Amino acid sequence: MDTSLPLEGRSRAIFIVSVVMLAISCVAVLLRSFVRLYLVRAFGWDDALMVVAMALFTLLCVTCIVGSHLGVGHRIIEFKSLDSLEKALLWWWLGQILYLWSSAVAKVSIAMALLRLTVRKMHRNILWGTISVVIVIGLMFWLVLLLDCNPVSYFWHRVDPTQTGKCLPTKILIAIAYLYSSITILCDFTLGIMPAVLIWNLQMNKETKVALIGILSLGAVASVAVVIRVPFLHNYADDDFLYSTYQIAIWSVVETGLAIVAGSLVTLRPLFRWVLGGSASYARHRRYQQTSGGNYPLSGVTAHYQKSGASDPKYWRPDITLDERTNTVVISPSHLNTSSSQEHLRPESGSSAPQNQVNVLKTFRVTDDC
């Protein structure tokens, strides 16, 4: 028997939000993976965790899409049978379980990305503490939902008078939900202000600092959805459960989707440079770096240096004699190895540092004793 209900009203809202957030998040993570795997070749733990978060979020959106077809967002009186109501409750329960872990993994990924920038032990401890709290609070609320009813299946079978079981009082569930949301907001706030703490004392102009802080703080925008969701938590106690909690379902999807999208956007700067600079030239540059490591042979820096005798070691080391064999490693700043996720920061305004220069990394001598 067909147990689906019309996709209209609140169920349609859940369906549309789930599809849109799933599409946007999927594109963001695919672009992030392209950047990290192909452009900068520095796929790290934070990237792997974001891929895991995307997989969990995909399952979450699937449960919301299927649930909206089965009746999530509809009133109890609209269901055709007791079996259809139980199925809708089951899919709602699965969605909340998946939300907890997809949201937690996305925020851990953001914190891991910030760990790349930390130098001071105190900052690292704060970020590791945030990661620990996110995991602990997620695990706690997951266990509450998992063990809310005894047996577990009584959560969706309790609408059937013939079923027996016991569930926690709704007041306790709501209190835990408020606690979870409060701690989540605190963790998001911490992830939002940490970029300012990490960057503000760096030697760069104020405009660059503000831009970097704004980009790195995008990962905390998910807290907006958490704040918006808080006033709807009391709807857990409503008798018309599936109809009243649709806002909770929507903002749970939005929160996780925003965390994934914002956490991925901060890694896409190399993509914009690649697109603006041309994929072909960038690919040639990457192939050159893989074969040469970005180092230039002394005699091949520029034609100007070749003509002026730059290939002679004495051009670079006037303190050596002609009969001494030397080897000098030279690197151009514009061809530094960019296999890491870190971007070069431009100097303070007014700095007289030349834009085109060659750095001598090391000079060593080769003797017959070697």
Spell out the domain ranges in the chain. Answer: 10-274, 295-365
State percent of the chain over pLDDT 90: 25
**Average pLDDT of span 240-261:** 90
Question: Cα separation of 33 and 43, whole Å?
Answer: 8
Percent over 70 (pLDDT), the chain: 71
Cβ pair 177, 236 in contact under 8 A: yes
Q: In the numeric block, which tokens belong to residue 348?
A: 């303070």
pLDDT at position 339 over 50? no
CA of 264: how far to CAs of 179, 196, 203, 347, in Å?
Answer: 28, 19, 26, 27
**How high is the pLDDT of residue 301?**
38
Q: Is the pLDDT of residue 350 over 60?
A: no
Contact indicator for 109, 50 with CB cutoff of 8 Å: yes
Measured between alpha carbons, how far is 51 from 258 in angstroms, rounded to an integer? 14
pLDDT band at 366 (very low <50, low <70, confident <90, very high): low
DSSP3 helix / strand / coil % (the chain, rounded to 5): 65, 5, 30
Report the amino acid identity of residue 107. K
Asked if residue 79 lies in contact with residue 88, where contact means CB atoms within 8 angstroms, the answer is yes
pTM to 2 decimals? 0.71
128 contacts 139 by C-beta, under 8 angstroms: no
d(CA 317, CA 349): 32
pLDDT at 257 over 60: yes
pLDDT in tens, 10-38: 999 999 999 999 999 999 999 999 988 88
Quickly name the fold that domain 10-274 has: Rhopdopsin 7-helix transmembrane proteins (1.20.1070)
pLDDT of residue 254: 93
Specify the pLDDT at position 44: 85
Which residues, 6 or more positions from 357, have their beta carbon under 8 angstroms from its beta carbon?
332, 333
Q: How far apart are alpha carbons 93 and 112 in whole angstroms?
A: 29
**Cβ distance 70 to 4 under 8 Å?**
yes
